[in-house]
């Protein structure tokens, strides 16, 4: 999952997060509007794809236009079903039959189309990414079950570490002195409290290596909006629940994260301990 040090800054407020309870409804509305618009445009493109060669297909075989029409109609039906099902999932907060496919369709198909549509309407990329992360979090929460502690990986960006700290934490976060000068101490405390895996990545290559080595079934990732959206795409089909970091000093320098947001996510996804 890429954690790009050169990501352009998103001006996060001190208490901004993308947990289900606190994320704003406008992000949902933006996502729904873009995804429906992308679905309509894609369907129109498929119709045009059938209309233009219609005459030429007749010369090949009398039934050729009908065969193509049926195939394209099936594709259009799948696109509309996926978009409507996704919207219902978002609005109602519950999964539907085959809704586990919605997140994959969103990541692989709709997000690139939504980005193009947003560019046409001059919608900032940050807004699109934030709406995507918000909806992805809701889909992950609604579709997935509970996980054992060893199945969860808390993946952190290196910019959470104090920039004046001489210790190298990328290969072993437990080298942390636990001085409390940055959020790493508190995050290590959560890792110990809940028994989950925790790691720091300085970039996409190391992040992917960490994911391959740990083989998590769920990733709770802390990063900026750009890195989270790209990380969600790169690690699919592993579900990623994103938590925005806070950047009071600008991008990639002494960033912060709200520990209660992390703990809330852990409590949402962790399986209840077995009763003895």
Bridge partners for 199 per DSSP? 155
Listed range (1-5, 69-73, 133-137, 241-245) with the worst mean pLDDT: 1-5
**Can you read off the two tokens belonging to residue 2?**
């890429």
DSSP state of 181: S
**Can you read off the two tokens belonging to residue 3?**
């954690």
pLDDT of 272 over the 80 cut: no
Measuring CA to CA, which residue among 138, 137, 117, 139 is closest to residue 128?
Answer: 117
pTM recorded for the entire structure:
0.75
Percent residues over pLDDT 90 in the chain: 36
pLDDT of 111 over the 90 cut: no
- Element (H or E) spanning 244, and its range? strand 240-244
Burial class (CB in 10 A: 0-12, 13-18, 19+), 92: exposed
Options 3.40.50, 2.50.20, 2.120.10, 1.50.10; CATH of 127-269: 3.40.50
- The verdict on whether omega for the bond into residue 208 sits within 30 degrees of 0, i.e. cis, is no
Domain residues of the chain, as ranges?
Answer: 29-89, 127-269
């Amino acid at each position: 999952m890429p954690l790009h040090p050169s990501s352009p800054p998103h001006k996060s407020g001190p208490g901004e997060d993308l947990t289900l309870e606190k994320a704003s409804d406008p992000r949902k509305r933006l996502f729904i509007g873009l995804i429906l618009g992308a679905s309509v445009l894609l369907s129109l493109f498929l119709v045009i794809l059938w209309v233009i060669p219609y005459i030429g297909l007749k010369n090949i075989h009398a039934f050729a236009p009908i065969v193509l029409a049926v195939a394209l109609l099936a594709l259009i039906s799948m696109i509309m079903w996926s978009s409507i099902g996704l919207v219902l999932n978002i609005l109602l907060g519950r999964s539907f039959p085959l809704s586990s496919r919605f997140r994959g369709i969103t990541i692989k198909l709709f997000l690139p189309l939504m980005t193009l549509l947003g560019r046409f309407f001059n919608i900032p990329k940050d807004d699109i990414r934030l709406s995507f992360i918000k909806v992805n979090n809701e889909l992950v929460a609604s579709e997935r079950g509970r996980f054992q502690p060893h199945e969860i990986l808390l993946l952190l960006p290196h910019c959470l570490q104090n920039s004046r700290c001489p210790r190298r934490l990328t290969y072993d976060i437990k080298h942390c002195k636990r001085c409390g000068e940055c959020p790493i101490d508190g995050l290590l405390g959560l890792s110990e409290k809940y028994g989950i895996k925790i790691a720091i990545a300085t970039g996409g290559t190391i992040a992917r290596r960490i994911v391959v080595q740990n083989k998590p079934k769920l990733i709770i990732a802390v990063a900026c909006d750009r890195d989270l959206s790209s990380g969600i795409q790169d690690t699919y089909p592993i579900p990623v629940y994103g938590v925005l970091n806070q950047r009071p000093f600008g991008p990639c320098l002494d960033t912060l994260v709200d520990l209660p947001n992390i703990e809330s996510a852990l409590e949402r996804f962790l399986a209840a301990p077995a009763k003895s």
